Structure 1
Amino acid sequence: MTPTDRIYTKALEVYKTDRLARQFIELPHMMLGDKTPIEVAADDPKGADRVIEILGRLQHGSAA
């Protein structure tokens, strides 16, 4: 599975709809230095892990 696939799968698990999952992965996020999750995954080998960690925090009610 590609890093983008991993991010999308987790985002879909968290947000439940394709539209919201795609919105999350395509918009800049302040915890990612105002980069999009897709950019972070492409720029850094551990980038997808960082994004998935943020999604996990959102899923469990922590600040993200």
Structure 2
Amino acid sequence: MVRACIDTSVYKSHSVRAAASSQARISSVPISEIISVARWSNIGTFTKFYQNKVRHEEFFCTTVIKY
């Protein structure tokens, strides 16, 4: 992360996992695969904290692209 110029005093490895999981969902990767590969212990955690955010990001992106 340091080599990528990411401030590791702010962002930790968990941030990468969350960002990668969110991007996978935006890219239509099945939730079951995201949970397995990212080693989420509970699907509820992903859906509660990340999937909702992803839906809003998708809506924003698709809305902006339309115009």
Task: State if a TM-score over 0.5 links the two structures.
Answer: no
Question: Which has the greater radius of gyration?
Answer: 2
Greater relative contact order (CA < 8 Å, ≥ 6 in sequence): 1
